Amino acid sequence: MKSLADCRLYTFVDVGYLRGRDPLTLAARLCDGGADLIQLRAKDWPADRVERLAAQLLPICDMSGVLLVINDHPEVAARIGAPLAHLGQEDFFDAGRTHVSEVLPQRVKVRIGLSSHAPEQAQRALAAGAAYVAVGPVYPTPTKPGRPGVTLEYVRWAAATINDRPWFAIGGIHAANLDDILEAGATRICIVSAILDSPDIAAACREFRRRLPSVV
C-alpha cells in the first residue's frame, strides 16, 4: 500500500453524485484512472449503511493499492479495516477533541485526516496529529453549500508553511483553474464534481493525474 506522502490525486465516491450509478463501478473507474485515495462520502446515511458500502469498496481499493477514506465515521473505518477516516472541524474540535488519539482506541491503526478553512485551523489540525490536512474550499462548491472560498492565498500559505504532513487543496477545482492551484503551490488535490460529473471517470482521473507534479 502506498504512503500518504506519495499520494497526489484524492477522489470521492460521493453518494450525492451517484445519479443512479453503481458506487462500486465508480470506485473501479477511479482506481483505473490513477486515483491515490478514494473517500466514501455519504452524508445523512446511517452508519450501518455506510459500513455495508464501505466493506464492498475496500477490496476494490486494496486490489489497486488505493487508500480508502471513510468520511465522518472513523468507527466504520476501524471495523472494516480501512486505513483512513476524515473529519471536519465541527466533528472533531467542536466535539471536544484535541488529538486524533481520542477518536479511536490506540490499538486501532486508522489514521485521521482533518479539514481546515484557515491557517489557524490547519495549525490546530497539525498539532492534533492529523495524518493529512485538507485546505479549502479554495473556490465555492456545491459540496459545501454556503461556505465561501478560502481563495488562493490560503493555498499559498499552506505551500509555504506545511512541510511535515501531506496537505490537499480542495473545493471547486476543475480543469480550467488547476494551473492556478498548482502555481499557488499545491501538489496534491481533491476532486469531486469535476471527475464524478465526467462522462468518462477514468479518463478524467488520468487527465488530472497527468497535470499533477510527480512524487519527489
| Whole-number pLDDT of residue 141 | 77
CATH code, domain carrying 201: 3.20.20.70
Task: With a cut of 90, say whether residue 206 has pLDDT above it.
Answer: yes
| Whole-number pLDDT of residue 215 | 66
Domain that residue 132 falls in: 4-211
Domain count, the chain: 1
- b/e sequence 12-51, b meaning 16+ C-beta within 10 Å: bbbbebeeeeebeebbbbbbebbbbbbbbbbeebeeeebb
For 6-28, the pLDDT digits (tens) are 999 999 999 999 999 999 999 99
For 143-158, the pLDDT digits (tens) are 777 677 899 999 999 9
Q: What is the pTM of this model?
A: 0.96
For 105-129, the pLDDT digits (tens) are 988 899 999 999 999 999 999 999 9
| Whole-number pLDDT of residue 103 | 95
Please check whether residue 136 lies inside any domain of the structure: yes
What's the whole-number mean pLDDT along residues 67-78? 98
Please check whether residue 216 lies inside any domain of the structure: no
